[in-house]
Structure 1
Amino acid sequence: MTEKLVGKWVLKESVNFDNYLKQVGIGMVLRQLVKVIYPTLEISVDENHWKMTTSTTFKTEIVEFDLGVEHEEDFPDGRKFKTISQFENGRFVETKKDVNPKGKTIQVETYVEENKLIIELNCEGVVCKRIFERTT
């Protein structure tokens, strides 16, 4: 299953992204900015070690982790999350818990369907889909 995810992908479409960003707590100005950015996502895997590189014209972010091992992530808006990643039902699933006790938990499911990489983000029942196409 991992081999389907490996490669370079570019965002082509987002569905319900603004409502999701509101639910996560992103302010209007930052929401307007991120909605017009179409990042490139590169996924590589070496046994159990994953590397995900997200690149935009503004910034490149790299997250490295091992499946099943909790790791910390810094979000672009300054929030910090504890994340655990694993495979469930043929999908790559991440649970991201804000380290702030009043923060929110985000569930992310990533999978390939009809040669497209689909990332479903869920925050307290508000779900968005981001659809990527392979570039390499």
Structure 2
Amino acid sequence: MPVDLNGSYAFVSHENLEAYLKALDINVALRKIICLLKPQRELIQEGDHMIIRTLSTFKNYTMDFQLGVEFEEDLEAIDGHKCKTTVTWEGDVLVCVQKGEIRNRGWKHWLEGDLLYLELTAEDAVSRQIYRKVK
């Protein structure tokens, strides 16, 4: 049985976010704004159905999907791209593969105690964000 990710998480820190955003071809001004944000994450897990919300003062984004089922993800409002996305469990790690214009794009989520880790990849860039569970 996979780990229970249900909950709300507050931003703690990020590493190498600027390089990840550059790999997504996001302009320098927008990269600077994004790097200043302290987003919250909310994960709702009901069997194979998941909702992941990223909430910030700048922009909110919601992913609503079935585990193991490929879907078209429209990221036009986020970074100007669309991709075919599949999210699955690999042990206790939630793994997302996003196929499209950007090579090696995706992310991984996992828990260590009350900390939620998010590792983002695009091209050769890897960024890690850490969030603390608040409820």
What TM-score does the superposition give when structure 2 sets the normalisation length? 0.89
Say whether residues 1:72 and 2:72 are aligned partners: yes
- Equivalents in 2 of 1:96, 1:10: separation in Å? 25
Partner of 2:98: 96
User: Partner residue of 1:2?
Assistant: 3
How far the C-alpha of 1:77 sits from its partner, in A, is 2.4
Looking at structure 1, the residues matched to 17 and 67 of structure 2 have their Cα atoms a distance apart, in angstroms, of 27
Contact 1:94 1:108 in 2 (8 A): yes
> TM-score normalized by structure 1?
0.89
Query: Residue in 1 aligned with 2:111?
Result: 112
Question: Any idea what SS the aligned residue of 1:2 has?
Answer: coil
Distance change >3 Å, CA 22–CA 59, structure 1 → 2: closer
- Residues 24, 104 of structure 1: 8 Å contact kept: no
**Which contiguous aligned blocks of 4+ residues in structure 1 show a shift greater than 3 angstroms?**
none
Is 1:30 the equivalent of 2:38? Answer: no
Distance in 1 (alpha carbons) for counterparts of 2:79 and 2:23: 14
Structure-2 separation of matches of 1:33 and 1:81: 24
After superposition, the C-alpha distances for 1:20-53 in whole angstroms (9 at most, x for unaligned) are 1112221101100110111111000111110111
Letter in 2 for 1:45: Q
Candidates 80, 83, 86, aligned match of 2:85:
83
**Aligned sequence identity (%):** 30
Q: Give the SS at the match of 1:86.
A: strand
Q: How many residues align?
A: 132
Q: Considering only aligned residues, what root-mean-square deviation do their CA atoms show, in Å?
A: 1.4
- How far residue 116 of structure 1 moved from its aligned partner, in angstroms, is 0.6
- Structure 2 portions without partners, runs of 5+: none
